[in-house]
Every structure is written in structure tokens, then in C-alpha cells.
Amino acid sequence: MEEELMAKKRPIISTGGRGGAADGKRRSLPMPARYVINALLVFVVLAVGELMVDGGAITRYQTSVLQQVGVYIIMAVSLNIATGYLGQLPLGHAGFMSVGAYGCAIFIMRLSEALGIGARDIVAGGPMVALLVFAGVVFGGICAAVAGVIIGIPALRLKGDYLAIITLAFAEIIRVVMLNIDDVLGFELTRGAAGLTGIPSYSNFLNVFLAVAIVCFLVHTMMKSRHGRSILAIRDNEIAAEATGVNTTYYKTLAFVVSAFFAGVAGGLYAGCVGVLQPANFGFMQSIEILVMVVLGGMGSMLGSVLSATVLTILPEALRAFSDYRMIAYAVVLILVMIFRPQGLLGSYDFSLSRVIERVMNRDFPWKKDKGADSGASVEEVSADGR
């Protein structure tokens, strides 16, 4: 039953371009160089973005939309761990987001009060504030991870649809608890339906997208490690994985908790973006929207999650004028994609800059492959043309 849940069982993380020149002479990038190139790229993107925000090329409104994009990228990438890589279907991801959001917001509000840092200082920045925000976001992530352990251990005993239902139930319970916890405890923590207001706007373009880069990096490296391979093995066939010595309970819980942790991180940043938290914002529909991002992009494709989270966050803002028809169009697109491309728009394709560079180094271009791969003479001919 569960095996049917995922259609394609192609390897998610490509082992590198296996295109044309496979004759031993193939040049490849050493690992440190790959890291340096990617780190440089991230740095350049962040620097350019920050300059544009500072210089006013991106308006305030656009910056706030961009921050939301960053938050939803992290949400989609984190849900992708549990859905695309582990092959389960949690329907309560917004629950973890809300735990992280409340945890981080309350942590930062209480601690900044205790340390005497005002809301203006937080916006102004500085090393102390950076440390505080970092600690707060990590705290939010840890809160969500703890919730993930509590939910994951019973939930992961179940399979398929039952797991989906039990995570849905847990998320709803989290929402009701957030709504009513103050009445029980007798002091102000989440402030119930009125909402937690006055959260300092500690999220900005730089720290949100820095977090996006770090999360993507961590998820990517985890999935390439032996832990990641164990998780993929469980997705492809749980019984076979167990038979080959994978501790399935441990790795299922691990993937689930890591997924919850990053959702908490995203929630913490979200709290700093919007400034007001209400339990109603983290209902079932929120979980579904994040799931839709993952599924539309292609389960198991990080690039797919990033792109669809970006598009699906910007699109509603761009289509404000047609807001009445927006959600209907959304639903129709969802149904059509599922009917005509059930594996998601990108399937399990993932982009790798290093692979592109290697291809360029080896002059192994996709448009050359059909002509050049089999006969050496034509390869020389084409590359001579290239010069």
C-alpha cells in the first residue's frame, strides 16, 4: 500500500552528470571547490539583495513579500524531508510552524526585555541583536523539534493514510492548545485568539535568506550522507531497508524531527516578518498549502520546493486584483497538474551548479549528446567548431 504512494522510485539525488564523455578522461571539480563556488554564489546573491534593499531598489512592500518567500521556502524544503525523502504524508506541518513561531517570538520578547534591548535596537541590528535573533530562531526550532519527537514517536508507528490523519489531529490539538493555554496556566503566554502582538520585527532580508541558504545546505548535506541514504532506503522499501540493517524507527523519527525543527525555524522567522501571531493562521489549510508547494514542485526535488514556494507566495500578491478568482485558479491548477503530471512539475530533478560547471569543463553539452556521445570523430568536429 505505502509503496504505491510514491509513483516514481528514481534516485532523488543525482549522482552527477553521466552524459557523454564517460571514458575516464572526464574532469571533475574537487569537493572544496564545489563548496567555495556555491558559497560565493550565495554570498553574491545575499550581497546584491541586501544592497538593493538598502538602496531602495526593492520597496518595503516587496521586501516583506520576499521575506515571506524565504519563510515558505524553508517550510517547503523542510516538509520535503518528510514527504519527498521519507515518503510519508504529514498533514500537520503548520502545527510545527506555530510552535516555532510562538517559541521564538516569546523567547525574543522576554529576553530583549530582560536585556534592555528595545524594539528599535532590534531593527537597527548589531552583534548582540544578531545573537539574540539567532538564539531565538534556534530556540523556536528546538521547541518544534520537541513537538516533533512527541508527535513522531506515536505517529510513525502508523502507516500511510493513518499517519496523515494522526499528524492532522496533532496539529489541530496544537492549535486549540495555543488558543486556550492562557486560561489554563493563568498567565499571558500566547494571548489566545486575540493574538500575540508587538513582536519586534527582527526578520529582515539578510537573516531570512541566510537561513534559507543554511537550511538548504544542511538538508542537502544530510541527504547526501549515510543518514540521508538510510532515509531514502526507507522510502523506497521499508522492509528491505530494515532487512539490510537500517534502524527504521530511528531514521523515520530523525527525518520527522529534522523536518519539524526546520519548520520551527521558519515559524520563528515568520513571527518576525508579520509581527502578529494568531492560532487561526496555523490551521489545516496552512498545512495543505505547504504540502501543495511540495507536491507541485515535485516531491523529493529541493529546487522544485524552492521554485514552487517562491511562485505560490508571490503569485497571490501579484494577483491581488483578481483575488476572487485566485483561489479557484489555484485549485484548478492543482487538479490539472495532478491529472497530467502526477510527479510534480520538476519530478525529482535537482539542479546542481557543480554539475553544470563540470559539463562545461568537459564540453559535454546536452545539445551535443545525441550527436557526439557515440563517435569520437564527431565530438572533435563539434568541439573544433566550438572554438
Partner 1 sequence: MDGVALIVSQVLNGLQLGSIYALVALGYTMVYGIILLLNFAHGDIIMAGAYILWIILAQLGLNPVIAMLLAVLGCTLLGVLIDKVAYAPLRNAPRLSVLITAIGVSYFLENGAQLVFGADAKVVPSFAPVSSIQVGGLSLSFVALVTVLVTAASTIVLTFLVQKTKLGKAMRAVSEDMGAARLMGVNVNNTITFTFAVGSALAGIGAVLYVMAYPQATPTMGMMLGTKAFVAAVLGGIGSIPGAVVGAMLVGFAEVFVSAIGLSVWRDAVVFLLLIVVLIVRPTGIFGRTMSEKV
Which parts of this chain interact with partner 1 (CB under 8 A)? 1, 4-7, 89, 154, 157-158, 161-162, 164-166, 168-170, 172-173, 176-177, 179-180, 183, 239, 284, 288, 291-292, 295, 299, 324-325, 327-328, 330-332, 334-335, 338-339, 342
- Rounded Cα–Cα distance for residues 39 and 220 (Å): 14
- Asked if 147 contacts 102 with a C-beta cutoff of 8 angstroms, the reply is no
Cα 107 to the center of its chain, rounded Å: 23
Name residue, grid cell 539583495: 49
Q: How far is the CB of 181 from partner 1 (least distance, A)?
A: 11
User: DSSP letters along 199-213, please?
Assistant: ------HHHHHHHHH
Find the shortest distance in angstroms from Cβ 287 to partner 1.
10
- Grid cell of 271 as nine digits: 513571527
Name, in order, each residue with C-beta under 8 angstroms of 285's C-beta and a sequence gap of 6 or more.
Answer: none
Please list, in sequence order, all residues whose beta carbon lies within 8 angstroms of the beta carbon of residue 226, skipping any fewer than 6 positions away. none
Q: For residue 196, give the 3-state DSSP assignment.
A: strand
Q: Which residue, 109 or 164, has its beta carbon nearer to partner 1?
A: 164
Of 174 and 208, nearer to partner 1 (C-beta) is: 174
Closest to partner 1 by CB, 151 or 215:
151
Whole-number minimum distance, CB 3 to partner 1, in Å?
Answer: 9
Q: How far is the CB of 340 from partner 1 (least distance, A)?
A: 9
Q: In whole angstroms, how close is the CB of 111 to partner 1 at the nearest point?
A: 30
Q: Which of residues 166 and 231 has its CB atom nearest to partner 1 in the complex?
A: 166
Check: CB of residue 270 under 8 Å from CB of residue 97.
yes
Q: Which is nearer to partner 1, 1 or 31 (CB)?
A: 1
Closest distance of CB 77 from partner 1, Å: 19
What Rg, from alpha-carbon coordinates, does the chain have? 23
Q: Which is nearer to partner 1, 250 or 325 (CB)?
A: 325
